[in-house]
Chain A
């Protein structure tokens, strides 16, 4: 919080660390809700798993002190894969790792580079899980968020406004999973009975995107 963010390249290691702190707080705050959503259609562990993973990621980043935004994301991803214990670990882990690798070694990058990195990450999630929007998964929040982010940046908005648009799209996307029938994961075995419940993965995705929006707003 000591340096003034560079308006040309606002995404540096400190930005990603602030996002991680905000995301960890949000996951802690909403862990019980995530687990509750996971009870009727999943195995009632999403909140617990996400909480364990993000606390471990925060500790890892404090200990290893990665110095570039890419390196922070890669470390978060690697930690999530090894600590979450549910499907969200490899999925979010792949998202963060791919995004981090896409950012490369640079100290700070502009908004459109963050967008491109997140797109690479979301593509990685779709590839790993074999899911598409409409399958009642985290992609139902992530894909609209990415589209909103992209549209806002293309329309000349700054990063804070673009991420706010992404957060709204992710929240709406998560809410829109309620009437869907699950086609991936354990919930898909429930068939029709998966209808009427909001997807826990899409809900946690919306939290993570909202944490990006909070981070950009506070830094602006």
Chain B
């Protein structure tokens, strides 16, 4: 393990493809050589659209390097499941649900995490993606 540890990012979507694609996009836009741990957790328990708490827990454990984990979620049950898991303390210590737009927030979070920024800074960068107006 190299020091200092990087913040881990978990991307929770109703769609396995969406979660995977956004993870790939965010990592790709961060540039070569990045070692930010990013894991998608997409789709429901039956593999269709939905939310799987097991995938979320596994993803959070996989990206936890001790510097905290930022979780971004898309809609409804994805958000509620993360909140319920946090309330039950079933996610690694230092895991946080970030209030951010899913795709733009993911890019901001991964880029910021790649600089070695802490969880507060990563969360703030992801949340700040809401302020980027397109018209």
Interface residues of A (CB under 8 A from B): 43, 45, 49, 52, 78, 81-91, 93-94, 97, 128-129, 185-186
Interface size class of B (residues with CB under 8 A): 20 to 34
Given A81-B88, A85-B52, A90 and B44 contact (CB-CB distance below 8 Å): no
Q: Which residues of B contact A129 (CB under 8 A)?
A: 80
Q: B77 an interface residue at 8 Å Cβ cutoff?
A: yes
B45 & A81 in contact (Cβ 8 Å cutoff): no
Q: Which residues of A contact B76 (CB under 8 A)?
A: 86-87, 185-186
A97 vs chain B, min Cβ distance (A): 7
Q: Which residues of B contact A45 (CB under 8 A)?
A: 49-50
Interface residues of B (CB under 8 A from A): 44-46, 48-54, 75-77, 80-81, 83-85, 87-88
A204 vs chain B, min Cβ distance (A): 14
Q: Which residues of A contact B83 (CB under 8 A)?
A: 90, 128
A83 & B45 in contact (Cβ 8 Å cutoff): yes
User: Bound complex: CA of A52 vs CA of B47, how far in Å?
Assistant: 13
A137 vs chain B, min Cβ distance (A): 11
A85 & B51 in contact (Cβ 8 Å cutoff): yes
User: Bound complex: CA of A86 vs CA of B46, how far in Å?
Assistant: 11
B81 & A81 in contact (Cβ 8 Å cutoff): yes
User: Bound complex: CA of A49 vs CA of B48, how far in Å?
Assistant: 11
* 23 intermolecular pairs with C-beta atoms under 8 Å apart: A45-B49, A49-B50, A52-B46, A78-B88, A81-B84, A82-B54, A84-B45, A85-B48, A85-B51, A85-B52, A86-B50, A87-B77, A87-B80, A88-B77, A89-B80, A89-B81, A89-B84, A90-B83, A91-B80, A94-B84, A128-B83, A128-B84, A128-B87
User: Bound complex: CA of A97 vs CA of B89, how far in Å?
Assistant: 13
Q: Which residues of B contact A82 (CB under 8 A)?
A: 45, 52-54
User: Bound complex: CA of A82 vs CA of B88, how far in Å?
Assistant: 12
Given A82-B53, A82-B54, A89 and B88 contact (CB-CB distance below 8 Å): no
Given A91-B80, A186-B76, A81 and B46 contact (CB-CB distance below 8 Å): no
A85 & B44 in contact (Cβ 8 Å cutoff): yes
9 closest A-B pairs (Cβ-Cβ)? A85-B44, A85-B50, A90-B84, A87-B77, A90-B80, A82-B53, A87-B76, A85-B45, A90-B81
Q: Which residues of A contact B88 (CB under 8 A)?
A: 78, 81, 97
User: Bound complex: CA of A45 vs CA of B84, how far in Å?
Assistant: 20
A190 vs chain B, min Cβ distance (A): 14
User: Bound complex: CA of A88 vs CA of B77, how far in Å?
Assistant: 8
Q: Which residues of B contact A89 (CB under 8 A)?
A: 51, 53, 77, 80-81, 84
Q: Which residues of A contact B85 (CB under 8 A)?
A: 81
User: Bound complex: CA of A91 vs CA of B81, how far in Å?
Assistant: 8
B134 vs chain A, min Cβ distance (A): 20
B44 & A86 in contact (Cβ 8 Å cutoff): yes
Question: Besides A85-B52, A93-B84, A94-B87, 8 other CB < 8 A contacts?
Answer: A82-B52, A82-B53, A86-B44, A87-B76, A89-B77, A89-B84, A128-B84, A129-B80
User: Bound complex: CA of A90 vs CA of B53, how far in Å?
Assistant: 9
* Complex: chain B residue closest to A53, CB-CB: B45
A89 vs chain B, min Cβ distance (A): 7
B75 vs chain A, min Cβ distance (A): 7
